[in-house]
Structure 1
Amino acid sequence: MRLSGIHLAGIATHLPELYPTARAVEEGLYDEQDREESGIESVPVAGETTGPDLAVRAARKALARSGHGPEDFGALLHSSVHFQGPDGWSAHHYVLRHTLDRPVTAVEVRQGCLGMLSALELAAGRLMAAPSEPPAVLLTAGDNFSTPLADRWRASKLFLLGDAGAAAVVSRRGGFARVLSVGSVSAPSMEELHRGGEPLFPPGPTVGRTLNLEERREFWRREWARGVPPPMGNFGDTVAAAAHRSLAEAGVTMADISRVCHVGFSQLPLQASFLDPLGIDEKRGVWELTRITGHLGAADPVAGLEHLWRTGQVGAGDLVMVIGASPGMEAGCAIVEITVPRGTEGEGDHA
């Protein structure tokens, strides 16, 4: 979707204390060979701080940087990957209460690790379609994977799970960057890959089944060995399709992109699923960050963009691709143009 007049007025990430992967190996939580192959040096671990509270901490920073007050917001969109709190409870209204504290709609965007990019698309559509409504939407995300139902070290060989909160203020009024386009492409024929033979009912968590994507991948290896082909498709093609679509809608090419913010996959999966399909190397991405944070769930896109912006690695006129993915399979992409000279405090003040 090509956008007009949509800005990022403030972004922020809240990262708990980093937990070195070498320490996890020493404590028997992680295998040394897996650590070496992943290239991941640490992940943030939040202890007992909840996902919604991580989101609140990030949101307060983003709001302070945005130059917007609570009265400027017409909605809050909250994303998460893991459990947020009591069953039947509204985490998104908890985040709303502890940030804007306004009687506006709060919605949970359950789009897995693509949640914040999907929320950006929803926010942009709302702001463009209703110019008489308040000029901003608050996006938040927060996850703490320190629960008995998730083993951050062994749930998947594609990534290590890191805890984080993230937030972004999307605004018609201005900001430090313009969002030129945003959208996604899915390959629904591949959805079975993340089921891996697991029954749909009763849902796994209700009977104590843990998150184990490696187990589901192993299911398809066994099926293939006995002559049953797995769902076919190349996820890298889906990533490339999402990127090319957003580039075309923004009226630019990959050669115009200064940096790429991607998900926090381990080194080889990142190369195969994102870097190679996009035709870029690690230096053009944000591996310098993700190698110390791992995969932050839905917070990855904001964490990468904030890192580039706050460290001054991108400035006025630079184009940044923000790309992510979720089970489904689906990939999403946004093209962002930085519009102020450098990463400074009070992004919204430069609008």
Structure 2
Amino acid sequence: MRTTDMYLRSIGVHVPPVVSIETAVAEGRYPSDEMDYFRLGGAAVAGDVPAPELALRAARHAFERSGGMSPHDLDLMLYADVWHQGPEGWEPHFYLQRHLVGGDVLAMELRAGCCGLFSALRLAAGYLRPGGTALLVGADNHGTPLVDRWRMIEGNVMGDAGCALLVTTDTGFAELRSVNVTVLPEAEAVNDGGVPMFPPDATVGRTLDFAARNREFRKRMLDGDGAGLMLSIQRTLIELVERTLKEAGITLDEVARVAFPHGRWDELEHRAVNWFGLTLADTTWEYGAGIGHLGVSDQFVALDHLLAVGALAPGDYVLLVGTGAGTTMACAVLRILDIPAAYASGGPR
């Protein structure tokens, strides 16, 4: 989708303190024999801070950086997540409505896997009218009894974070040039683990172990057209990136940095080098390896990091690429118009 007059006014983030991989090894949480190969730095761990509180802190941060925007002027609020947010039967965006934005704004929760914030961007681009403003938030705290953040995904660890994007139709520090989200339905079962859909996992206390589920899915693929499915995933993602770049009016050579999901360096290197002709240095892998996979927030927290460390300049293009269960794939192109003063002065994280 080619977007016009869509801007990022500000980004708000709340990344909790990082627990190092060395600490996790010393505590017996992470296998020591994997340290050297996977080269992870650690995971951001929120402790007992609820995910909606992480979202609220990030949203407040976004408004602090917005140059005077009011939470009560919003036209839309979308709340994206991948993991349980609070009591069953309770909606997390109500928490932000109570403590920040009020009850008049149209608000809803999105469950679109790790591409949730991309889906929120796509929906906001289709919803907002001239003069409109949307708050897009994503938050997850994976530190719950049904998840082992250190071993749930082979070659990666799960981090916690809150992230908020203020999107407007008038002005901002970055222009959204294009955004797309697609699903490969034939890969729907990638993360189902071969277990029954009913009763749902959380109601019977079944743990979430993506490493085991991926092994089970690969075993199933051996009995089917596994090679064909992997080829479809590769082809679909490449075509999605190419279409998004074309809609944005640029080529990959014009992109300053690329933000992929925080994940295994070897898998990312295969995709970046073999699929797109990139290197790890062109991506935000090193930063992501230090804080873990954040669920819905990886690419946008990484964008905030690039701005904070001075890795971007006015005129630069940034490519954000998302993949998730489903298999969901997403892509967005941003053009940096200026560097907000908030990044020059630091500001709360």
Please say whether Structure 1 and Structure 2 have the same fold, judged by a TM-score greater than 0.5.
Answer: yes
Distance in 2 separating the partners of 1:344 and 1:161: 31
Distance in 2 separating the partners of 1:176 and 1:310: 13
What is the deviation of 1:288? 2.8
Aligned to 1:215: 212
Q: How does 1:281-300 map to 2 (within 5 A)?
A: 281-300=279-298
More divergent stretch after superposition (52-61 vs 30-39):
30-39
Aligned in 2, Cα 1:30/1:70: closer, same or farther, shift over 3 Å?
same
Distance in 2 separating the partners of 1:346 and 1:173: 21
**Match of 1:109, as an amino acid?**
L
Q: Given that residues 181 and 246 in structure 1 are in contact (C-alpha distance below 8 angstroms), is that contact kept between their aligned partners in structure 2?
A: yes
Q: Given that residues 79 and 141 in structure 1 are in contact (C-alpha distance below 8 angstroms), is that contact kept between their aligned partners in structure 2?
A: yes
**Match of 2:57, as an amino acid?**
R
Q: Given that residues 185 and 241 in structure 1 are in contact (C-alpha distance below 8 angstroms), is that contact kept between their aligned partners in structure 2?
A: no
Structure 2 counterpart SS, 1:277:
helix
Aligned in 2, Cα 1:6/1:223: closer, same or farther, shift over 3 Å?
closer
Distance in 2 separating the partners of 1:76 and 1:223: 40
Q: Given that residues 310 and 343 in structure 1 are in contact (C-alpha distance below 8 angstroms), is that contact kept between their aligned partners in structure 2?
A: no
Distance in 1 separating the partners of 2:271 and 2:199: 32
Structure 1 counterpart SS, 2:278:
coil
What is the deviation of 1:273? 4.0
Q: Given that residues 272 and 279 in structure 2 are in contact (C-alpha distance below 8 angstroms), is that contact kept between their aligned partners in structure 1?
A: no
Distance in 2 separating the partners of 1:173 and 1:192: 41
Q: Given that residues 72 and 102 in structure 2 are in contact (C-alpha distance below 8 angstroms), is that contact kept between their aligned partners in structure 1?
A: no
Aligned to 1:94: 95
Distance in 2 separating the partners of 1:346 and 1:166: 16
Q: Given that residues 160 and 266 in structure 1 are in contact (C-alpha distance below 8 angstroms), is that contact kept between their aligned partners in structure 2?
A: no
Aligned to 2:125: 124
Aligned to 1:189: 186
Aligned to 1:25: 25
Distance in 1 separating the partners of 2:40 and 2:276: 21
Q: Percent identity?
A: 36
Q: How does 1:106-121 map to 2 (within 5 A)?
A: 106-121=107-122
Distance in 2 separating the partners of 1:275 and 1:211: 31
**Match of 1:99, as an amino acid?**
L
Unpaired runs of 5+ residues, structure 2, are 345-349
Q: Given that residues 263 and 285 in structure 2 are in contact (C-alpha distance below 8 angstroms), is that contact kept between their aligned partners in structure 1?
A: no
2:333 equivalent among 332, 335, 344: 335
What is the deviation of 1:153? 1.0
Aligned to 2:71: 70
Give the RMSD, CA atoms, in angstroms.
1.8
1:137 matches 2:134: yes
Distance in 2 separating the partners of 1:325 and 1:221: 18
Unpaired runs of 5+ residues, structure 1, are none
Aligned to 1:255: 253
**Match of 1:123, as an amino acid?**
A
Q: Given that residues 307 and 343 in structure 2 are in contact (C-alpha distance below 8 angstroms), is that contact kept between their aligned partners in structure 1?
A: no
What is the deviation of 1:158? 4.7
What is the deviation of 1:34? 2.5
Q: Given that residues 319 and 337 in structure 1 are in contact (C-alpha distance below 8 angstroms), is that contact kept between their aligned partners in structure 2?
A: yes
Q: How does 1:194-343 map to 2 (within 5 A)?
A: 194-223=191-220, 227-230=223-226, 232-234=229-231, 235-274=233-272, 276-340=274-338, 342-343=339-340
Distance in 2 separating the partners of 1:276 and 1:95: 42
Aligned to 2:347: none
What is the deviation of 1:71? 3.5
More divergent stretch after superposition (296-305 vs 266-275):
266-275
**Match of 1:208, as an amino acid?**
G
Aligned to 1:52: 52
Aligned in 2, Cα 1:140/1:337: closer, same or farther, shift over 3 Å?
same
Distance in 2 separating the partners of 1:296 and 1:277: 24
Q: Given that residues 119 and 139 in structure 1 are in contact (C-alpha distance below 8 angstroms), is that contact kept between their aligned partners in structure 2?
A: yes
Count of residues in correspondence between the two structures: 341
Distance in 2 separating the partners of 1:181 and 1:236: 21
Structure 2 counterpart SS, 1:297:
coil
Aligned to 1:11: 11
Distance in 1 separating the partners of 2:273 and 2:34: 21
What is the deviation of 1:96? 2.6
Distance in 1 separating the partners of 2:189 and 2:150: 23
Structure 2 counterpart SS, 1:183:
strand
Distance in 2 separating the partners of 1:148 and 1:25: 19
